[in-house]
Structure formats: structure tokens, C-alpha cells
């Protein structure tokens, strides 16, 4: 499989980009890989890049977007931060990727058993981590069940994963509300903004 070119990127649309990622994850789950020469792709992308998707995911070592979607060099922009939330810098990166570099899809990828989410569920406080946790805690408050505070913590994985999913939805809302550029591009059908959840036990990605 060759690296994407300006011509192949031009043939992409948001739905086709989403299908590419879904197909890639199926290959990953089935322990298959597209036939690609990475060193050849280094050469092919040396003078330019034409990715088709932008993926915001967690820093978790088990959730490498390039691997779980079986993509090569030059295929996706990968943005990673604990808890996969957005700030001004990440929004600016997304705007560059979509408006200037031509990606057709933005994916907010959460995952099960997320350490950052667990920290938010426990209201952890430690150095600079405190500010990061504060940005995720609205997702904790938004999950209504269980109401019993004694089980609204990191030991309750069902609760943790519910918060992870809610955090993805809140992040998507923040992208649309805080980036006029991306919101307009989505309204005009130039891009699609979607959420997804990676299962660390199975390797599969469920898209919303």
C-alpha cells in the first residue's frame, strides 16, 4: 500500500475516510496488516503529506491510532493527550489539519479502563495533573448513575467506561462550540466529526 498523495486525498470524503478506519481496525483485530513498505513511504512523504483523517486519542501506550487502525506514514494526523480532551492548542492543530492540510474526518477516540478517566473519577490531585483532571471532571458529573457516591470511583469499571464515553461526547461538543472553522466545515459537509471507543481487551473500536 502506497502513501497517500494529493490525488488520492482529493478522492476522499468523510464517509470514505471513516470506512478506511473501520476497515483498518478490522484488519488489526484479525491480526492482519495491509502490505506496505514503510521505508518507501518515508521517501514518498519526504516532500509532503496528505493525510485523510485526524484522530484525537489518549496517551495510553495501548492505544496507538496508527496501529489500531492499521495506517501507515502520512495517513493520519495523530493528536494525543491524557483523557483525549481539547484545548486551544489542540483545536488549532485540528483546524490546521482540516482546513489547511485537507483531512476529511476528525475522530475523538476514548478507550476503556482509561487511567486519566479513573483519576477524574477519584478527583485526583497531584501537581500539574490537577489541571488536567479538572478538564475531565465535567464528564464525571454528567454521568448520573450510580448515585451512590461510594461506588462512583475508579474501582467501578462500568462507571469509569461510562465516564469515558461521556467524555468523548463532551469533547465533540467542545470542538463544535469552540471552533467556528471546524463547525462550519462540518455543516458544509467538508468534514465529519465522530466519536469512538477502543476496547483495550479486544482491540476493537466502536464508532458512535
**pLDDT (tens digit per residue) in 84-125:** 999 999 999 999 999 999 999 999 999 999 999 999 999 999
* Backbone angles phi and psi of 36, in degrees to 5: -140, 145
Helix, strand, or coil (residue 197): strand
> Residue 44: is its pLDDT beyond 90?
no
Residues annotated in the binding site for Zn(2+), as ranges?
58, 60, 111, 114
- Quote the percentage of the chain above a pLDDT of 90: 86
Domains of the chain in sequence order: 6-207 (3.40.1050.10)
Alpha-carbon gap, residue 204 to 190, rounded angstroms:
27
The pLDDT assigned to 132 comes to 96
Residues annotated in the binding site, as ranges?
58, 60, 111, 114
The pLDDT assigned to 67 comes to 97
The pLDDT assigned to 7 comes to 82
Amino acid at each position: 500500500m502506497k502513501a497517500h498523495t494529493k490525488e488520492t486525498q482529493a478522492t476522499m470524503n468523510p464517509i470514505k475516510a471513516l470506512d478506511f478506519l473501520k476497515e483498518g481496525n478490522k484488519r488489526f483485530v484479525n491480526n492482519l496488516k495491509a502490505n506496505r513498505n514503510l521505508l518507501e513511504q518515508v521517501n514518498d512523504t519526504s516532500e509532503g503529506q496528505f493525510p485523510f483523517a485526524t484522530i484525537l486519542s489518549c496517551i495510553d501506550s495501548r492505544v496507538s491510532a496508527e496501529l489500531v487502525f492499521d495506517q501507515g506514514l502520512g495517513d493520519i494526523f495523530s493528536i494525543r493527550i491524557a483523557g483525549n480532551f481539547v484545548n486551544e492548542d489542540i483545536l488549532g492543530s485540528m483546524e490546521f489539519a482540516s482546513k489547511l492540510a485537507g483531512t476529511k474526518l476528525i475522530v475523538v477516540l476514548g478507550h476503556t479502563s482509561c487511567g486519566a478517566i479513573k483519576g477524574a473519577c477519584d478527583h485526583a490531585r497531584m501537581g500539574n495533573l490537577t489541571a488536567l483532571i479538572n478538564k475531565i471532571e465535567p464528564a464525571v458529573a454528567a454521568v448520573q448513575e450510580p448515585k451512590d457516591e461510594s461506588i462512583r470511583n475508579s474501582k467501578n469499571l462500568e462507571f469509569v467506561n461510562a465516564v469515558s464515553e461521556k467524555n468523548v461526547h463532551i469533547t465533540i461538543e467542545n470542538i463544535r462550540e469552540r471552533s467556528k472553522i471546524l463547525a462550519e466545515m462540518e455543516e458544509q459537509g467538508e468534514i465529519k466529526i465522530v466519536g469512538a471507543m477502543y476496547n483495550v481487551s479486544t482491540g476493537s473500536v466502536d464508532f458512535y
